[in-house]
């Protein structure tokens, strides 16, 4: 079972799964592929990047990080992550 953090919401797993499956995505692409609506995805993707589960490839474009993959594979407890100061 995945170990989510208190700051996570249910849609975060779906966003991470879509980016793992399709590669780098924008919030609009996440919505188009069955994820949460663009506005919500945009906020959540920023938060996931802040905690290191996603990485910002370019403005508005995100890819999955090694920690993101480890979380999806149940090898990382997300509650151990701290927010970063940088993008």
**Residues 71 and 79: beta-carbon distance below 8 Å:** no
* Short-list 32, 70, 38, 73, CA closest to 54: 70
| Residue carrying structure tokens 């996603």 | 54
Residue 50 is predicted with a pLDDT of 97
The residue behind tokens 């799964």 is: 17
What pTM, to 2 d.p., does this model score? 0.94
pLDDT tens digit string along 15-41?
A: 999 999 999 999 999 999 999 999 999
Domains of the chain: 10-74 (1.10.10.10)
**In the 8-state DSSP scheme, what is residue 1?**
-
Rounded CA-CA distance 81/78 in Å is 6
**Residue 86 pLDDT level (bands cut at 50, 70, 90):** low
């Amino acid at each position: 079972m995945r170990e989510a953090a208190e700051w996570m919401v249910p849609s975060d797993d779906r966003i991470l799964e879509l980016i793992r499956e399709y590669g780098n995505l924008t919030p609009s692409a996440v919505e188009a592929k069955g994820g949460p609506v663009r506005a919500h995805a945009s906020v959540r993707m920023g938060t996931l990047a802040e905690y290191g589960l996603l990485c910002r490839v370019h403005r508005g474009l995100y890819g999955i990080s090694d920690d993101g993959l480890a979380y999806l594979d149940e090898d990382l407890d997300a509650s151990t992550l701290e927010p970063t100061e940088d993008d």
